[in-house]
Amino acid sequence: MRNVAGMIEAFSLGKVFPDRQRPVVAVDDVSFRCAPGEIYGLLGANGAGKTTTMRLLATMLRPTSGTAIVGGHDVVREPERARRCLGFLSTATALYARLTAFEMVQYFGRLHGLDDAAIAGRASDLFARLDMNEFRDRRCEKLSTGQKQKVSIARTLIHDPPVMIFDEPTNGLDVMSARTIVAFVRECRAAGKAVIYSTHIMSEADKLCDRIGIIHGGRLLAEGTAASLKSAHGGDLEDAFVALVDAA
Amino acid sequence: MSPVFTIYRKELKDILRDRRTIISMLVVPMVVMPIIMLLFGGVSAKLVQSALEQVPEIMLLGGEDSPKIRAALASDRGLKLIPVAPDYAARISNKTLRAAVELPRDFDERIGEANATVPTKIYYYQGELRSGFAAEAIEKCLRDYRDKVLTDRLANRGLPADFARPLNTVRQNVAPPEKVGGNFIGTILPYIVILLCLTGALYPAFDLTAGEKERGTMETILSSPASRTQLVLGKFFVVLTASILTALCSLLSMTTIYLISRGLFGLALKGKMSLGTFTVAPGSVLAVLVLLLPLAVLFSALLLAVGTFARSFKEAQSYAGPLILMAILPAAAALLPGVDMSPKLAFIPILNLSLVSKEIFTGAFPWGYIALVFASTCLYAAFALWLAARMFNRESVLFRT
C-alpha cells in the first residue's frame, strides 16, 4: 500500500449501517485513486452512496470494511492526521451564524494548528482573492448565499490542504454561486491538489472532472474519463450512466 | 493553543452572542428571579400583615340571655361584633364574614355552676387565612374568659390559682442563632442552587449539540482535525461555565436583594456573612460550593449527552421537563422532616448534597459524609462525561436527523 502525500486512494471501502430489520449496505467494495492535480468525479443518483463515501474519506464515518489513504494517512488508523490534510465542503457544511466571516476562518485555522500570525497572513490573501474584504467582519447570519459560499471556501483553504473533498457543493445554489464553486474547484486542480467531487449533475461532471466513477447501490460500476465512458456505452454521459445503472 | 481551549473560546463567544443565552444565564437569575421573589415576598408579607392588623368582623349567635360572656366578647379589642344574620354560614363561605361563634342557651347561668362544662362552637372557613385569624382571636377571648371563670371557681373553694395547673411547660431554644439560621438556609439554599445549576446548563448544552445538528454546522466541525473527545470537552467546559455562572449570579443577586429588602447593608458581621437575621460562616458557603462543583459537572455532561442524542433542539427541549423533575424530586426530598443523612442516602445524587449542605450550614462538618458525597458525585459526573463522549463518538447518534 503506497502512502503518497497529496493523493487519495480508496481500498475496497465498505460501509454497512445496522438496522433493526436488515443492515443497509451504503458503500460496497469501492476502490479508486485520485492523483494530485486531478479532479475525480463520483457520479450517482440520490441514495447511490456518494455522501457516505465522502464522509468515509473525510473520516466522519468509520468504514466497516476496507480503508482509504488521504494525504498519506490511513482514515481508520489516523483519522485526525487525515483530516489535517483535507478540506471538506458540501451544502451541508453550514457556517456558525453568530461568528463573523473572519472569525469563522480564524477558528478553523486555529483548529488546524496555525498560529494567529500565520492565520492573519493566509486569511488576508484568501479574502483578497475571493473578494471578501467588504464583509470580513460581518456575521455569517447576515451574509448572502454567495458570500456564505466564499466563507466556506476560505474556511476549507485556510490550512492549504493538499486534498479537497466536495460533496455535491452546488446543490441548491443559484447559477452565480455554483459558478464560484466550480471556478474554485478548478483552481484547486491548478494548484496541484487532489480533488474528489461528488455530484448527480451529468453536465457538471462532464465539464469538470478528469475522471469519473459511476456509483450505484453503493458499488462503483465503472470508471474512466468522460470521453471513454461515452464511447464505451454510446451517446452522452447521461446515456452511459443510464446504461450502466440498468445493467447493474 | 490546545484544540479544547480553541473550541471552548469559540463556543463561549458563540453562546454569549445569543440573546437567548444572555436571558437564561444572566437576565433571568439576576433580574427576573429576584424581582419575582421580591414582589412575591413583599406582597405576601403585606397581605399577612394587613390580615393581622384588621380587626375581624364576627357574629355572635345566641347568648341573648348571657350578658357577661356577651360583654367579654364585645369588649375584646381583637374582635368586632356585627348584627346577626341567618345566612352567616353562606357569608363565611363567600368571605364577607370572617367567623361566627355560637353560645348555648343560659350560658352565663350554666358556667356559674361549680362543675359545669359549657360547649361553644366557632364557625370558620378552613384554609382561609383571614378566617383562621378570626377563629384564633375568638378562641383567645374564650380562653381568657375560661381562665377567669376557673380562677373564680378555685377561689370560691379556697384553692390557689395554680391548683388546676400542676404542670407549667416553657420552651427554651438552646441552638445558637447560627444554627437556627443555618438550618433554614441549609434547607432552602441548596435546593435553589441545585435547580439553578441545572437550568443554567440546559440551554447552552442543547444549543451546542442538538442546535448544532439543526443548523448544519455539525458536519463542518467534524471535518476539522479536532478529535470527537476534544470537541465534547470544549463544549462541556462551556456548559459547565454557564451552569456555575448562573448559580453564582443567582446567589449574588438573591443575597443582595435579601439584604436590601431587610435594610441590612453595612451590617455584615466581622468574619461572618450576614443574611438578614441569620448568619452563615463563609467556610460553610465555600464547602457547599466545592461540593456543588461535581454536581454541576454531572448536570453539564448529562445534558450534553441528552442534547447530542436529540435530533433537534425541539426534541432536546422535550427531554428537559423530565430531567428537571428528576433533579427537583431528590432536592425536594431533603426538605421533608425526618429525612437525615445516612450511609445509604449518601450515595443518592442530589439528595446527598442537599442533606450534607443542611448539616454544613448549621456549622457541623461531618467529614466522612462530605468525602462520601464528594466522591460519589465525582464518580457519577465522570460517568456522565464518559456517556457524553460516547454519544459524540456514535455515528448513529451524531448523524441522526
DSSP per-residue codes, B340-357: ---TTGGGSTTHHHHHHH
Q: What is the pLDDT of residue B274?
A: 44
Q: What is the pLDDT of residue B1?
A: 67
Mean pLDDT of A108-137: 93
Asked whether residue B139 carries a pLDDT value surpassing 90, the answer given is yes
- Go through B187-225 and write b for each residue having 16 or more CB atoms within 10 A of its CB, e for each that does not: bebbbbbbbbbbbbbbbbbbbbbbbbbbbebbbbbbbbb
pLDDT classification of B182: cutoffs 50, 70, 90:
low
Determine contact: A4 vs chain B, CB below 8 A: no
Q: At what angle do helices B177-208 and B228-262 cross, to 10 degrees?
A: 140
Contact A181, A149 (CB under 8 A): yes
Average pLDDT, chain A: 90
Architecture in CATH for domain B52-164: 3-Layer(aba) Sandwich (3.40)
- What gap in Å lies between CA A3 and CA B191, rounded to an integer? 59
**Chain A closest-CA separation from residue B393 CA (Å):** 10
In DSSP terms, A164 is beta-bridged to A87, A195
Q: What is the pLDDT of residue B4?
A: 95
Is B225 in contact with A113 (Cβ distance < 8 A)?
yes
Burial class for A134, CB neighbours closer than 10 Å (0-12, 13-18, 19+): exposed
Q: What is the pLDDT of residue A232?
A: 86
Nearest neighbour of B18 by CB, restricted to A86, A92, A98? A98
CA distances from A208 to A49, A184, A195, A236 (A): 20, 11, 11, 15
Is A61 in contact with B396 (Cβ distance < 8 A)?
no
Q: Which residue has the higher pLDDT, B163 or A62?
A: A62
Determine contact: A108 vs chain B, CB below 8 A: yes
Is A110 in contact with B1 (Cβ distance < 8 A)?
yes
Nearest neighbour of A58 by CB, restricted to B14, B223, B226? B223
Contact B60, B82 (CB under 8 A): no
Q: What is the pLDDT of residue A192?
A: 92
Inter-chain CB pairs, A–B, below 8 Å: 69
In chain A, % of residues over pLDDT 70: 98
Rg of chain A (C-alpha set): 18
Determine contact: A145 vs chain B, CB below 8 A: no
Q: What is the pLDDT of residue B195?
A: 85
Nearest neighbour of B224 by CB, restricted to A81, A83, A95? A83
Determine contact: B223 vs chain A, CB below 8 A: yes
pLDDT in tens, A234-248: 788 888 889 888 887
List, in order, residues 6 or more apart from B85 with CB less than 8 Å away: B59, B91
Q: What is the pLDDT of residue B327?
A: 86
Residue of A nearest to B15 (CA): A98
Residues of B in contact with A58 (CB under 8 A): 222-223
Helix ranges restricted to H, chain A: 50-57, 79-84, 101-111, 116-129, 145-157, 175-190, 202-208, 226-233, 237-247
Contact A155, A114 (CB under 8 A): no
Is A111 in contact with B224 (Cβ distance < 8 A)?
yes
Q: What is the pLDDT of residue B268?
A: 42
Per-domain residue ranges of chain B = 3-32+176-398, 52-164
Asked whether residue A75 carries a pLDDT value surpassing 80, the answer given is yes
Residues of B in contact with A99 (CB under 8 A): 10, 13-14
3-state secondary structure of B244: helix
Mean pLDDT of B89-106: 92
Nearest neighbour of A96 by CB, restricted to B14, B219, B224? B14
In chain B, % of residues over pLDDT 70: 90
**Other beta carbons less than 10 A from residue A17's beta carbon:** 15
Asked whether residue B273 carries a pLDDT value surpassing 80, the answer given is no
Q: Give me the DSSP letters along A119-158.
A: HHHHHHHHHHHTT-GGGTTSBGGGS-HHHHHHHHHHHHHT
- Apex A228 CA angle, A225 and A231, nearest 5: 150
Q: What is the ipTM of this complex?
A: 0.90
Nearest neighbour of B227 by CB, restricted to A61, A80, A110? A80
Q: Which residue has the higher pLDDT, B272 or A17?
A: A17
**Chain A closest-CA separation from residue B219 CA (Å):** 5
3-state secondary structure of A232: helix
The three three-digit cell numbers of residue A57, written as one number: 474519506
Determine contact: A61 vs chain B, CB below 8 A: yes
Q: What is the pLDDT of residue A129?
A: 86
Contact A49, A218 (CB under 8 A): yes
pLDDT in tens, A34-47: 999 999 999 998 88
Burial class for B371, CB neighbours closer than 10 Å (0-12, 13-18, 19+): exposed
Contact B304, B209 (CB under 8 A): yes
Q: Which of A111, A152, A157 best tests the B interface by mutation, with the highest count of B CBs <10 A?
A: A111
The three three-digit cell numbers of residue B322, written as one number: 423530565
Determine contact: B401 vs chain A, CB below 8 A: no
Judged by average pLDDT, the poorest of A142-156, B102-116, B265-279 is B265-279
Q: Give kind and range of the element (H or E) at residue B181.
A: helix B177-208
**Chain A closest-CA separation from residue B9 CA (Å):** 10
Residue type for A133, please? N
- What gap in Å lies between CA B203 and CA B307, rounded to an integer? 10
Per-domain residue ranges of chain A = 8-247
Q: Give me the DSSP letters along B198-213.
A: HHHHHHHHHHHTHHHH
In DSSP terms, B358 is beta-bridged to none
List, in order, residues 6 or more apart from A79 with CB less than 8 Å away: A59, A62, B227
The three three-digit cell numbers of residue B349, written as one number: 445524587
Q: What is the pLDDT of residue A151?
A: 93
pLDDT classification of B271: cutoffs 50, 70, 90:
very low
- What gap in Å lies between CA B253 and CA B30, rounded to an integer? 5
- CATH number for the domain formed by residue range(s) A8-247: 3.40.50.300
Question: From edge to edge, which strands make up the β-sheet containing A65-70?
Answer: A24-34, A8-17, A65-70, A73-74
- What gap in Å lies between CA B305 and CA B235, rounded to an integer? 11
Q: What is the pLDDT of residue B263?
A: 56
**Chain A closest-CA separation from residue B287 CA (Å):** 38
Is A60 in contact with B225 (Cβ distance < 8 A)?
no
Residues of A in contact with B3 (CB under 8 A): 111
- What gap in Å lies between CA A173 and CA A168, rounded to an integer? 10
**Other beta carbons less than 10 A from residue A248's beta carbon:** 11
Average pLDDT, chain B: 85
Q: Which residue has the higher pLDDT, A67 or B283?
A: A67
Residues of B in contact with A18 (CB under 8 A): 396
Q: Which of A75, A84, A96, A142 best tests the B interface by mutation, with the highest count of B CBs <10 A?
A: A96
Residues of B in contact with A90 (CB under 8 A): 219
**Chain A closest-CA separation from residue B220 CA (Å):** 5
- Apex B163 CA angle, B158 and B168, nearest 5: 155
Mean pLDDT of B357-383: 88
Mean pLDDT of B165-183: 74
pLDDT classification of B332: cutoffs 50, 70, 90:
confident
Q: What is the pLDDT of residue B266?
A: 44
Asked whether residue A3 carries a pLDDT value surpassing 50, the answer given is no
Determine contact: A96 vs chain B, CB below 8 A: yes
Q: What is the pLDDT of residue A37?
A: 93
Burial class for A108, CB neighbours closer than 10 Å (0-12, 13-18, 19+): buried
- What gap in Å lies between CA A149 and CA A173, rounded to an integer? 9
Residues of A in contact with B222 (CB under 8 A): 58, 60
* DSSP structure class, residue A20: S
**Chain A closest-CA separation from residue B230 CA (Å):** 11
Q: What is the pLDDT of residue A1?
A: 43
Pairing of strands A39-43, A211-216: parallel
Nearest neighbour of B223 by CB, restricted to A81, A93, A103? A93
Mean pLDDT of A122-136: 92
Mean pLDDT of B117-138: 91
**Chain B closest-CA separation from residue A25 CA (Å):** 14
Mean pLDDT of A111-140: 93
Asked whether residue B52 carries a pLDDT value surpassing 70, the answer given is yes
In chain A, % of residues over pLDDT 90: 69
- Apex B272 CA angle, B271 and B274, nearest 5: 150
